[in-house]
Structure 1
Amino acid sequence: MRVGVIGLGSMGMGAARSLLRAGLEVTGCDPRPAAREEFIAAGGRAVASAGALPQGTEALVVLVVNAAQTEAALFGPEGALPRLASGAAVLSCATMAPDAARAIAAKLEQAGMLPLDAPVSGGAAKAREGAMTVMAAGGAAAFDKAAPVLEAIATKVWRLGEQPGIGATVKVVHQLLAGVHIAVAAEAMALGIRAGADPKALYDVVTSAAGNSWMFENRMARVLTGDDAPRSAVDIFVKDLGLVTEMARALAFPVPLAAQAQQLFTAAHAMGQGQKDDGFVIRVWQAMTGIALPGDEEAGDEK
């Protein structure tokens, strides 16, 4: 099967390499030369623009940041649509509003393609393992056509219905939880440090007790070592929690915890931390209280 992957970021690269391991013919697309070189070194093909994908591509995974990038990657002047085979499966994997997911799916259907509203979760590590979770909605024909792709990139594929938009809805709700969990994990760690607890001891206690969460265990481990290289950046949650509050506003539904978490990520962005790992939203508390973070050379150090 001839497959394209648009977006060779932390998750897209993992997905593309998982597809290669599955024996599929994979072309990655990314404007960054370093990303293309990495994928070529892994045995794949790589192009700089979606319009340069191989003619007759039978399945396409679009793992970019948002709906606007997805639209451009598919339908823009250098978009992938003319390169796709008739009846190709197109997996739209970016986190976006449900209305945007429905609009993209409708345009793909009109062009004779088989769309899947298919946001993903699992992070870079799960993507590299081919072990992502996919929250997918679409017709049976789309699932059938995409089956080799889904089998290669995921260990759990949720079939949430035939109508595009429900996959995006579930992912937005998921991001409410993910963003709030990261923010409260940072708040708890910062409070413990301010009160004089040893950060490593605090981490060990929490991760062995009922207050633990996957986000605390994963993100605060990086804070302990000062490793702020972005697997998922602060700016992702500025965007995604914005999608949460927008969806909730349209439903006249209050989301006070999501709104507060978004303000914390926005504050981190304003401090110049937008491209740092999202767990480093903890630097908001550092700026307010002067705490020294593990791995920083001194209190208030900004990387």
Structure 2
Amino acid sequence: MDHQPVVTITLNPAVDIAADVETVRPDVKLRCKAPQFDPGGGGINVARAITKLGGRARALIAVGGATGDMLATMLAGEAIDTIAVDTGGQTRQSFTARETSSGHLYRFVLPGPEWTRAADDALFEALATLLAPGTLAVLSGSLPPGAGAEIVERIEAACEKAGAALVADTSGPVLTALCARSGQPLHLLRMDRDEALTVSGRTLSTPSDFAAYGAELVSAGVADHIVIGLGARGSVGVSAAEKILCSRPVEKPLSAVGAGDSFVGAMVLALARGLAFETAIAHGTAAAASAVVTPGTALCERATTEAFIAEVETTRLA
């Protein structure tokens, strides 16, 4: 392995189903084209992106039921090193319909099974065997019902004890709680534009506005590094030493699905290879752009990402 170990953690994975339909209308049968099935969930997609980009990651996933078996089989088919813990429930599905008449995407996301004490015990037992000094652990995606911000705190504590570093990319009340914490900072916390607006409760508009908010989170001890995705405008990266914007515009985007996970995968792989934070943000930006020019739920492609890296523009923010 040419980089530090990477472990991704997905507590609420899904089998992603995507299909085309001519028009979305109410109260009638909508006859779709042949569906595409993919393993889904933030951490899973981060591990898949890392693999696509020539790296390696171990994917710790919480699964259950026949859908969970299907998910594990799909990951095995992609040669993803997977460690599964049993939730005792049925792994969820998500469905994306692309309306071909308009190009609009309709995304239906189910909640997933209730988190249980047994699943909790199995998770931390598995983590104890996976975390080691120098490991980059990536917690990405939504949390299942019944799992709150305290589970992230416990994962962070397990990382600290093992000498590992935690990268978190989550949302909702959990993200709000993480942004209110202080003390032992996360290694890196990522959010998107809308999440930053919600959590901050402010009217942020320019990249410098978002960078200033990120700098406040760093100063408060929330995380050593903050990354805020601004969609087509690029991504802001903030540490104690720098505030930057990395962008690589796409003229003809096909689908933004998978761009965020591709970004995190490429960024984490770059960090695991010992590259600087600024360079890692550029790699993530290139991978996100690569995902945007692929159809449906497809992630980044290695050749496109590598070509886009040289086209990423980095701007230092005040």
TM over 0.5: no
Structure with larger RCO (C-alpha < 8 A, sep 6+): 2
Per residue, is there more strand in 1 or in 2?
2
Question: When the two structures are superposed, what TM-score results if normalisation uses the length of structure 1?
Answer: 0.35
